[in-house]
Amino acid sequence: MDAMKNITQDLLKHLTLERLEDNLFRGESRDIGSPHVYGGQVLAQALYAASQTVEGREAHSLHGYFLRPGDKKAPVDYEVDRIRDGRSYTTRRVVAIQRGKPIFNMSASFKTREEGIEHQFEMPEVPAPEELLNMTELGKQALADIPEKLSRFLQWQRPIELRPVQPTHPLHPEPAPPFQDIWLRADGILPDDPVMHKVLLAYASDYSLLGTALLPHALTFTQGKIRAASLDHAMWFHRDFRMDEWLLYSMDSPSTSHGRGFSRGNLFTREGKLVASVAQEGMIRRVRNISP
């Protein structure tokens, strides 16, 4: 647990940006095994930057577009445009820049708290997280027929613990309906700052979402058969939550066509409270001339 606590604290530090000017922030990049900068990192750091320019209001939605692949060896600068401060709502635009070129653009909206009518979807009935293996344990089970480089990635101790309800083999998946459920949480006690819980959920929301669009086609990102990248990402925060408590990420993919996959997700507490929703479209292209 101490090791996981250190990993979680390291992630918090990684997502906490250096303030260069009132509206300019800088974050470091990190290599998690993906070809380019992990999209969730840029999303989370952009939300952090926007949040540092708002007082007394909470983020309730964000919409981002990934413009260029990020370089894992270079820092990322975040420029915040204070577009509007209204009576109830505040709007910010954030541009993430590497080497003078924008790699990501995001609009985020913040609002004051208020009471109103309520309803929500019901949480799916799934096994509890204690009954499931996490991604690291599943990776160890599959080591017999997995290349060494991939096995190191699968055994990586993630700062966000993931426990799939319907795990798939990373190299030999079976075709499956475009639905999946994953329990997730930060494995360590977090501070009470609600901004950081939303930042961490933004970071985690990019895990596995686009992969839902691959399930009917018996494809995974680790096979080397496809090129994939997030194109856009949207989130809506509905209710309070903590990222150091289990959340169920229930995902589906209504459509994949024209080299793009579309996926959606809802996040529930263990008690069934719907706390956030996500939507994403990503590029999905088959790699040609794959050896049998």
- Could you list the active site residues? 206, 230, 280
Strand locations in 32-159 (E): 58-66, 76-85, 89-98, 101-111
Residue 26: which H helix or E strand, with range? Answer: strand 24-27
Q: Report d(CA 141, CA 133) in Å as an integer.
A: 10
What would the DSSP string read from start to end of 50-81?
HHTT--S-EEEEEEEEE-SPPPTTS-EEEEEE
Tokens of 192: 């009470």
Query: Taking the CB of residue 81, how many other CB atoms lie within 10 A of it?
Result: 14
Q: Report d(CA 228, CA 201) in Å as an integer.
A: 22
Residue (of 187, 200, 186, 183) closest to 251 by Cα position: 183
